[in-house]
Structure 1
């Protein structure tokens, strides 16, 4: 309950300060820089070395890539038909293709499915969503940002993306036995700044007064992220023979609200920030309702 309260309070605090306190103009970009370049890599470095994979987790991890690929294909098709800008297509791909499987996902899964479910949620998050963010997110952000970039430039941005570098280092460290306790504790403290600052940053930019042309992508994005893609993950999992708690956690992770880091990435690359941030804010609020409802429908 404390974790839920923290999420809502930080989101509300950012919104109230933006509305009534007149914060510095560069506050949100400065916070976002810290989150992408310091706090997010610290979380990867802190959590990934602890993971241990086995065969029953294959669909759990693969389903997170399915979500991202499905979003990319869908919005490329829909965006072309609706004459959206490339920036809008990129924003929808990032924000609906990547779920908030850690900051909101961890406390929600623990509350709904206990410690055993939480352990699987960490696997899905670190092995699935973080990799999709580091690799797929970097490619989408670069290619849809409106800049003329070559394949070499996109590859360079992906390889130099802080979360991707941290992921590679973390896998090596995990193979060598993990971090020394002191360094592990320091990384955990830095990573702990991610949740409150990220939601505060979202609150700073949270707006519900969208233009008429923005209502359609927001509504479609929410329907895809909270309703359609969890159903797809569930159906495909049943067809492929996935069962039990791993399938349940795969669906719950797919049903999570949009990822905060994805919205920050969209903002940094100027990929329709109003749509990205509104999708994130509304999706976060609705996720506290839709995820428990999905849980009731699962074994």
Structure 2
């Protein structure tokens, strides 16, 4: 109960801070940067070494890539069937495919499955969502936008120099290692900031504008992201007979709301900014209810 209270209160605080214009406009960016550059790497260094090398470590990666690939195909097919514009198709390929597996995923998984599950969340997020965002996300934004060009070198540099990815590489070398209590204490103090700071940032960025003409693509996006994606993940785990904590985390992660960063990329690329913001805003809130239902169905 305490975890859910923190999630709700943090988002509400962020939302009303934005409405009251108490903090500068750059606040969400600064908070996100703190999480990405400090809190998330600290959590990765704290949790990943607790893993042991086994098939369970691979499960979140496999599920993440299959879910996102199949979801993208579904969006392409649906967009063609419903005659969506190139702009809307590009937007949906970002916000209806990529999930908020860290900022929202971490506190939700922690609330349902406990701290022991966070290592698998980080694997799903870093080796799944983050790399896919950096590669697939950049490609989609470039291909569907007339204002940008695809640069493979820049994509590769962004991946290799991203703090959380560097932390993941380092942490993998320490799997099975017990850190000195002082190191653990420092990492824990930094890692614990991820939930309130990330969720306040989420609240600051929520947008709720949905004209009538956007209802159809909006519905397609949320049905794909919140219902079809976790169903795909469940089927993958069922086919491979994966029934463990890693598979539970993978299914839950696949059902998280739309990724805020994907919405930002869509807006910056001119891909239906108003629609993208609405999908992210409503999608995150609705995902709190759909993940609760999902958890009851799979446990």
* TM-score band, normalised by shorter chain: 0.7 to 0.9
Q: What TM-score, normalized to structure 2?
A: 0.81
Corresponding position of 2:13: 13
Residues 15, 206 of structure 1: 8 Å contact kept: yes
1:246 Cα offset (Å) = 5.4
Distance 1:249 1:200, change over 3 A: closer
**Within the alignment, does 1:95 sit opposite 2:88 as a pair?**
no
> Following superposition of structure 1 onto structure 2, how do residues 1-299 of structure 1 map, counting pairs within 5 Å?
1-55=1-55, 58-78=58-78, 82-85=84-87, 88-89=91-92, 91-92=94-95, 95-96=98-99, 98=101, 100-110=104-114, 119=116, 121-146=117-142, 147-174=148-175, 177-243=177-243, 247-258=247-258, 262-264=259-261, 266-267=263-264, 270=268, 274-298=274-298
1:228 Cα offset (Å) = 1.0
Equivalent residues, number: 287
CA–CA separation in structure 2 for the residues paired with 1:141 and 1:90: 8
Counterpart of 2:86 in 1: which secondary structure? coil
Distance 1:275 1:196, change over 3 A: farther
Instruction: Point out the more displaced range, 50-59 or 200-209.
Output: 50-59
Residues 134, 161 of structure 1: 8 Å contact kept: no
Q: What TM-score, normalized to structure 1?
A: 0.81
Residues 120, 246 of structure 2: 8 Å contact kept: no
- Structure 2 gap ranges (5+): 143-147
Residues 91, 275 of structure 1: 8 Å contact kept: no
Distance 1:195 1:268, change over 3 A: farther
1:8-37 deviations in Å (ceiling 9; x for gaps): 011111111211244322222222222222
Distance 1:44 1:94, change over 3 A: farther
1:277 Cα offset (Å) = 4.7
